Structure 1
Amino acid sequence: MSSTESNTYEGFTAEERAAMKEHAQEQKAAARRGSRADKAALAERDVLAKIAEMQDSDRVMAERVHAVVTASAPELAPKLWYGMPAYALDGKVVCFFQSAAKFKARYATLGFSDQANLDEGTMWAAGFALTEVTPEVEERIAALVKQAVS
C-alpha cells in the first residue's frame, strides 16, 4: 500500500476490547467454580448483577427479557457472554441481550446464535432491536425462545 492510500481499519473499538476482556474474565471465573449446581447459581447471580448495573431503560428491558426467557425455556442456563446476559443450552449460547449502552447503539438487541432453531427457509432473523418490552413483545420473545430450543 502506498503512503497516499488510506487504511480505514482502526482495530477494535474500546467497547469491543472491553467486551473481550469481560469474556476472558467470565471464562476464568467459570473454570474456578465448584459443582455444577454452584456454577449455575453463581452464573445466574452474575447475570442479575450485570443487569442491575445497566442504565434505566436497558435494565428494565433486560429484567423483562430475563424473566421471559427463564420462564419460557427453563432448560436454558443464564450466563454472562462478553459481558452480556445470555442463555445457554448444554453450555452453548442460544440467545443473549445486548444493552444499547454496551456499544453506544440507539437500541438494545435480543440476539440468537446459530444454536437457535429459528431456521425459516433460506433466510431468517437472528437479531431483534428492542426499544421497549411491552406485553406484545414479551409474547414474541417467548415464542422465539421456545422455537429456538425446540
Structure 2
Amino acid sequence: MSSTDSSGYEGFTAEERAAMKDHAKELKTASRRTSREEKAALAVQEVLAKIAEMPDSDRIMAERIHAVVTANAPTLAPKLWYGMPSYALDGKVVCFFQSAEKFKTRYATLGFSDQAKLDQGTMWASAFALTEVTAEVEARIAALVKQAVS
C-alpha cells in the first residue's frame, strides 16, 4: 500500500494517543504510592478532579454516575482508567464513564468490562449511550452496577 493510499491504516487518532498517555501517567503515579489507603484516597481525588475538568454536560452526568455507582456498589473503587473515571473491583475495572468530549462523540458512554456480571444468555449490552442522567437513568445504572458486582 502506498503512503498516498487514503484507505489504509492511519494510526491512532490524537484522542487515542492522549488516552494512552493518560493511562501511562496513571500507572506511573499509582506505582509511587505506598499504602493501600493512600492509593484509594488519591484515586478518588483524581477521579473527582477529572470529572471537574469536563464540560458542563459531561460533568453533570459524570457526577451523577459517580454518586450512583459509589452508593450502590461500595465494593467498587474509583480510579482513572485511560483518563476516564472508572470503578474497579480488586484493581480490575468493572465500569467506566467516557465523556462525549473525550473522543469527540455525540454522546457520553457508560461502559462495562468483561469483569461485570451482566451476562444474559449468549448476548448482552456492555455499553450504554448517555445524553442525560435522569431519575429513571439513575435507577437503571444502580441496577446495572449492583448486578455487575453480584
TM class, shorter-chain normalised?
Answer: over 0.9
Residues 39 and 2 of structure 1: CA distance in aligned 2, closer, same or farther (over 3 Å): closer
Task: Report the secondary structure of 1:42's partner residue.
Answer: helix
CA distance in 2, matches of 1:34, 1:3: 48
Deviation at 1:9, TM superposition (A): 1.2
* 1:79 counterpart residue number: 79
Structure-2 separation of matches of 1:99 and 1:91: 22
1:115 counterpart = 2:86: no
SS in 2 for 1:101: coil
Q: 2:38 — aligned with what? A: 38
Instruction: For 2:33 and 2:135, locate their aligned partners in 1 and report how far apart those are by CA, in whole Å.
Output: 37
**How far apart are the structure 1 equivalents of 2:63 and 2:40?**
18
Tell me, in whole angstroms, the C-alpha distance in 2 between the residues paired with 1:84 and 1:147. Answer: 22
Shift of 1:34: 1.6
Q: Give unmatched runs, 5+ long, in structure 2.
A: none
Matches of 1:42 and 1:4 in 2, distance apart?
Answer: 47
Structure 1, unpaired ranges of 5+: none
Q: Secondary structure at the match of 1:145?
A: helix
- Output one character per residue of 1:11-64: Cα deviation in whole Å (capped at 9) or x when no partner: 000000000000000000000012000000000000000000000000000000
Matching residue of 2:126? 126
Question: What does residue 50 of structure 1 align with?
Answer: 50
Q: Distance in 1 between matches of 2:4 and 2:137?
A: 50
Amino acid at match of 1:144: L
The CA distance in 1 between the partners of 2:113 and 2:3, in whole Å, is 41
Aligned length: 150
Relative to structure 1, the CA distance from residue 9 to residue 2 in structure 2 (aligned partners, 3 Å threshold; closer, same or farther) is: closer
SS in 2 for 1:142: helix
Q: 2:139 is paired with a residue of what secondary structure? A: helix
Specify the code of the residue in structure 2 equivalent to 1:122.
T
Please give the root-mean-square deviation of Cα atoms over the aligned residues, in Å.
1.3
Q: Do structure 1's residue 62 and structure 2's residue 91 form an aligned pair?
A: no
Map Cα deviations across residues 81-101 of structure 1 (whole Å, 9 max, x no partner). 000000000000000000000
- The answer for the alignment partner of 1:25 in structure 2 is 25
How far apart are residue 109 of structure 1 and its match?
Answer: 0.2
State, as a whole percentage, how many aligned pairs show the same letter: 81
> 1 CA distance for matches of 2:88 and 2:122?
25
Following TM superposition, by how much is the alpha carbon of 1:8 offset from its aligned partner in structure 2, in angstroms? 2.4
